[in-house]
A and B are shown apart, each in its own frame.
Chain A
Amino acid sequence: MTLNILGIAALFLLVFIGLMLYFTRQAIFGNTPILRQIQAYETLKGLTSRAIEAGRGLHLSVGLGSITNATTADTLAGLSVLSYLAKQAAATGAPPTVSMADPTTMLMAQHLIRSSYGDAADGLEQAYQNVRWVASQPAAYAAGVMNIIEISQPEANVLVGNFGDEYLLMGEAAARQGSSHIGGTSIPNTLPFVYASAGQTLLGEEIYAAGAYLQKRPAHLGSLVAQDTMRSVIAWGIGLGVLIATLS
């Protein structure tokens, strides 16, 4: 890789982080952006109360990803949803059952549930009882999640994270059960399965907006605006490049 490309990459990152810091500061001082409605997040906000009314639990699965490789961003997106549900669980006493395929993700999930309970002793117990590492291999993971869905009969299933073809198996199990199903992933090959089986979907980058939509965190709101700005810059750049290439 030549120095020019590295320099452009470094400049891109510096501009990006500068924009993120600027828009985060704006969000902290109350200048929050207007976000378009994403139905999946609207549904997520009412899930805990629905589960309590129905007397059933919730199930959240964060997928095959871990926090030690390229799938970290997708895993953190799923964990952002868990963070929101865990805070509601601490207030209402209805923690979700969380399943995952990677043990490092399990540690993060246990930490999020425990920390949402603060110093309460319940937190540790809930963290260990409701967080379930299933298996690392996709088929075994899908089988385990299907087992969780069919046995525990949750009010709703939320599958947000890094998934492959095994998503269809889990998605169909959730759909057959007749409960609400919210699905989201950033993997293009898996998106058709999500669209076909989930009632509400988070497609592509929408999964990274969980912190902004659910908890209105200034850092997440700021980075959303920064992403949109950089996307506009790239789109205009592509358009300009096409024009120059066509005319020359």
Chain B
Amino acid sequence: MIVARGLGRLVTTAIAVGAGIVILAHVFATQTEGELFGIIGLKQTITAAGTYLVRLTIIIGAFALLLGFVNVVTVHWTQIRSKNPASVYSIVLLVSLLLSLVFGLGGPATGGTQFIFNFILQPLEATFFALLALFIASAAFRAFRVRSFESILFVAFAGVVLLGQVPISIYLWPELPVIKDWILNVPTLAGVRGILLGVALGTIATGLRIISGMDRPYTD
């Protein structure tokens, strides 16, 4: 059992490392003009292998979607069987899921599917995101409280930018829009670039840990 588990870990790590190296080489190969290192056929081989692996992820994603469907049905069926008051939402969800599946079997261009997307899904999504305006006001009411030096800066800068955005601000103080633009284009942009630099390095580190086999979240 232990030997089998160890062998399993070795195989999965080898697959992950090998696939990672091929995909990384694929990125470099597709950007290179001419043959790689002067070896005829190497660029074509790496490109083909990388493209094949990328296509595999699409197939894996499709199977994962099937398993996700099973997960949704299982979780909500368990909720319904538990007979708690919230199970009515689970009933609505499962009925909607079944109806969408039945209508969707004909394909995305059929009348039923189009009706569901155009008259149910899209209006609901638009309504939901329209709530963001109210939620922003609620979050701002809670966040705009002076508790520390950070929050003083937060409130001050947010106030200047908010006032600078409205057309009437030029009548309050003609320099306000100029200050607003400076805040957005200089310190904010500098901060965002710093964050993006850190995020880029973190992303590269995460990828290199997986490719080198140092980190193996896919094994026991």
Interface residues of B in 67-126 (CB under 8 A from A): 67-68, 71-72, 74-75, 78, 86, 89, 124-125
- Asked if A240 is at the interface (CB within 8 A of a chain B CB), the reply is no
Residue pair B138, A219 in contact (C-beta under 8 Å): no
Establish whether residues A68 and B197, one from each chain, have CB atoms under 8 Å apart when the complex forms.
no
The distance in angstroms between the C-alpha atoms of A107 and B217, with both chains bound, is 12
29 contacts between A and B (CB under 8 A): A16-B204, A20-B208, A72-B207, A73-B203, A76-B210, A77-B202, A103-B64, A103-B68, A112-B217, A128-B71, A132-B71, A133-B71, A140-B125, A151-B86, A165-B129, A168-B135, A169-B128, A169-B132, A169-B135, A186-B195, A188-B192, A204-B196, A204-B198, A204-B202, A207-B202, A217-B215, A220-B215, A227-B198, A234-B197
Please provide the chain A residues from 57 to 85 with a CB less than 8 Å away from any CB of chain B in the complex. 66, 68, 72-73, 76-77, 79-80, 83
Is A158 in the interface zone, CB < 8 Å from B?
no
Chain B residues whose C-beta falls within 8 Å of the C-beta of A132 in the assembled complex:
71-72, 75
Q: Is A3 an interface residue (CB 8 A)?
A: yes
The reply to whether B218 and A223 form a contact with Cβ atoms under 8 Å apart is no
> Interface stretch among A30-38, A42-50, A88-96, A189-197?
A189-197
CB contacts under 8 Å to A, within B51-78, are 57, 60-61, 64-65, 67-68, 71-72, 74-75, 78
A227 and B201: CB pair below 8 A? yes
**Closest 10 A-B residue pairs measured CB to CB?**
A103-B68, A205-B198, A208-B202, A196-B143, A103-B64, A219-B214, A204-B195, A196-B139, A133-B68, A205-B202
* Interface contact A226-B205, CB-CB below 8 Å: yes
Please name the residue on chain A nearest to B193 by beta carbon: A188
Q: Which residues of A contact B140 (CB under 8 A)?
A: 196
- Contact between chains at B206 and A77 (CB < 8 Å): yes
- Chain B residues in the interface with A (C-beta under 8 A): 24, 28, 31-33, 57, 60-61, 64-65, 67-68, 71-72, 74-75, 78, 86, 89, 124-125, 128-129, 131-132, 135-136, 138-140, 142-143, 154, 192, 195-199, 201-210, 212, 214-215, 217-220
- CB–CB B218/A111 < 8 A: yes
Quick one: which of B72, B135, B208, B209 contacts A172, CB cutoff 8 A? B135
**Are A79 and B217 touching (Cβ within 8 A)?**
yes
Interface of B is mostly: helix
In the bound complex, what is the Cα–Cα distance between A20 and B206 (angstroms)?
11
Q: How many A-B residue pairs have CB under 8 A?
A: 164
Is A147 interfacial (CB-CB < 8 Å)? yes
Q: Are A17 and B212 in contact, CB atoms less than 8 angstroms apart?
A: yes
In the complex, are the beta carbons of B67 and A172 less than 8 A apart? no
> Which residues of the other chain, B, contact A143 by a CB distance below 8 angstroms?
128
Instruction: Looking at the assembled complex, report how far the CB atom of A179 sits from the nearest CB atom of chain B, in whole angstroms.
Output: 14
Nearest-CB residue, chain B, relative to A152 = B86
Residues of B within 8 A of A175 (CB): 139, 142
User: Contact between B215 and A219 (Cβ–Cβ < 8 Å)?
Assistant: yes
A76 interface neighbour in B64, B131, B206, Cβ under 8 Å: B206
Residues in B neighbouring A115, C-beta threshold 8 A: 219-220
Q: Are A211 and B195 in contact (CB under 8 A)?
A: no
Determine chain A's interface SS by DSSP, over half rule. helix
A196, B215: Cβ atoms under 8 Å? no
Specify which chain B residues have a CB less than 8 angstroms from the CB of A186 in the assembled complex: 195, 199, 202-203
Asked if B199 and A20 sit within 8 Å, CB to CB, the answer is no
Q: Tell me if B143 and A104 are in contact (CB < 8 A).
A: no
- In the complex, whether A52 has a CB less than 8 A from a CB of chain B is no
Question: What residue of chain A has the Cβ atom nearest to residue B124's Cβ?
Answer: A139
Alpha-carbon distance between A133 and B208 when the two chains are bound, in angstroms: 28
Known A-B contacts A16-B204, A172-B138, A186-B202; A10 and B28 likewise in contact (beta carbons under 8 Å)? yes
B199 neighbours in A (Cβ, 8 Å): 186, 204-205, 208
Cβ-based interface call for A216 (8 A)? no
Tell me the complex Cα distance, A230–B198, Å. Answer: 10
- Extra contacts besides A168-B136, A219-B215 (15): CB < 8 Å: A21-B214, A104-B64, A128-B71, A129-B78, A133-B68, A142-B128, A165-B129, A169-B131, A171-B139, A195-B143, A205-B202, A220-B209, A223-B214, A231-B198, A231-B201
Contact between A188 and B202 (Cβ–Cβ < 8 Å)? no
Point out the residues of chain B lying under 8 angstroms from A139, CB to CB: 124-125, 128-129
Let me know if A73 and B207 touch, CB within 8 A.
yes
B129 → chain A, closest Cβ, in Å? 6
